[in-house]
A and B are shown apart, each in its own frame.
Chain A
Amino acid sequence: MLEAVDLECVRGSRRLFSGLSFRVARGSMLWVLGPNGSGKTSLLRVLCGLVLPAAGSVRWCDEDVRVARDNFHVDLLYLGHAAAIKDDLSGRENLHFGLAQSGVVASASEVEAALREFGLSGRDDLLARALSQGQRRRVALARLALAAGKRLWILDEPFTGLDADAVQLVQSHLVRQLERGGAAVLTSHQEVDFGALPVQRLPLAA
């Protein structure tokens, strides 16, 4: 489904990677590994189409993502470093508007169920500024529960700042995403066991 052809990325005067090619098939996952500064986040941003690669192209369903941008975005869920959580909105509002701008309409009960699943019941009307770092991450990740329609998930460090329960939860959503024929690309420093799932590892050198 997702295909990278001969990607090269240059930040400032440094070449982060070049000649990078891979495919992510339906129901499989790409795990990008590497030390800090090896270009993991840059790779994800190139895959999303936020950053233009210095060479090569990213193709989604055999179309270049910069050309068929709208089609690609219908299928894409991206969770970046910055979680797009507004301090002055409650968890519920953050989730609702966050989904809306990625083109997903969720009913109030669905939003509530997602927040409950991510351990935020009773705190859904609390402004995000009153939540802890981990809880803010949970609000951001609760999007996964309602993103079944998105065939490609690109997650930057989804496990950072989460406790063991939440890691488990995110993992189970990833499993479900692959089982329904979706694909995922993620970066993580944490060792997470995905068992028998088709996980492709992509190490980037510093």
Chain B
Amino acid sequence: MSEASLAAVFAAVIRRDLTLAVRRRSDVFTTFFFFVLVVSLFPLGVGPAPDTLRTIAPGVLWVAALLASMLALTRLFAGDYADGTLEQLALSPQPLVLLVAAKVVAHWLVTGVPLVLVAPLLSLQFGLPSDALSVVLLSLLLGTPCLSLIGAIGAALTLGVRGAGGLLALLVLPLYVPVLIFGAASITACASGMAAGAHLSLLGASLLLALALGPWGAAAAIRIALE
């Protein structure tokens, strides 16, 4: 027995959440297939007009990613809140802010990364030019962690609230708007032959801001929820 370092506790929280995600695969698949299905339904519904599809593709991809990430958010802290794990985390010798960050990282690995990886493939259905595919990947790579971090604040604020799902959407969706705008705009820019750098930089800036404020806000909300 020895005293655990911050890195060890951080890693243990991530490993536990990943192990749990593997044991409850259906939760992960729900988010993933939701994204795949919603994105795939649009070409079928709108019809095979390449110009229309190309125009709507960025918006469809990003709105679907937004909703898919929302779908998984309610589970971020709810289980830990119900079984007392959050109390234990709040009483850990390591700062709660960083343990919350570890939980968000694990959540993003499970719900965000699969979306990032499958999105370029899905965007082929919309006839996006091939150089836009890398921007799709990059924008989602920068954007989905933002969604998880912002969502963590909402998930923590709605702990123990009845009808948490609806309230969570009301709280979090407005905060997602900048990410949606920059993310979709970067793909649109690239698809129409302009540089996407500016939009991606703004996405990166949003990520840094979310990284600085998200875990801190979520940790504060968790302490309130535990009282």
Contacts and interface: CB of A to CB of B under 8 A. Distances in A.
Interface of A: 48-52, 70, 73-74, 76, 78, 80-86, 88-89, 93, 96-98, 100-106, 110, 127, 146, 148-149
Contacts of B3: 74, 103-105, 149
Given A82-B87, A104-B1, A105-B1, 14 more contacts: A49-B91, A50-B90, A50-B91, A74-B3, A80-B87, A83-B83, A84-B85, A86-B16, A93-B16, A97-B15, A97-B16, A100-B8, A100-B12, A110-B1
Interface in B45-70: none
B91 A102 contact: yes
B13 interface: yes
Interface of B: 1-4, 8-9, 12-13, 15-16, 19-20, 23-24, 79, 82-85, 87-95, 99, 226-227
A146 to B, nearest CB: 6
Most chain B CB inside 10 Å of its own CB: which residue of A49, A84, A96: A84
A105 B4 CA distance: 5
Contacts, number: 96
Contact of B226 (A50, A98, A103, A127): A50
Contact of A50 (B79, B83, B227): B227
Nearest to B89: A101
What 8 pairs across the A-B complex have the smallest Cβ distances? Answer: A82-B84, A100-B12, A103-B93, A88-B23, A84-B84, A73-B93, A97-B16, A74-B93
B91 A76 contact: yes
Contacts of A104: 1-4
A101 B226 contact: no
Given A74-B3, A106-B1, A101 B12 contact: yes
Contacts of B83: 82-86
Nearest to A52: B227
A73 B91 contact: yes
Contacts of A103: 3-4, 9, 92-94
B91 A70 contact: no
A98 B13 CA distance: 10
Contacts of B8: 100, 105
B227 A100 contact: no
A135 to B, nearest CB: 16
Contacts of A86: 16, 20, 79, 83, 85
Contacts of B19: 88-89, 93
Nearest to A93: B19
Nearest to A146: B1
Most chain A CB inside 10 Å of its own CB: which residue of B12, B19, B91, B95: B91
Most chain A CB inside 10 Å of its own CB: which residue of B3, B19, B87, B88: B88
B87 to A, nearest CB: 6
Contacts of B9: 100-101, 103
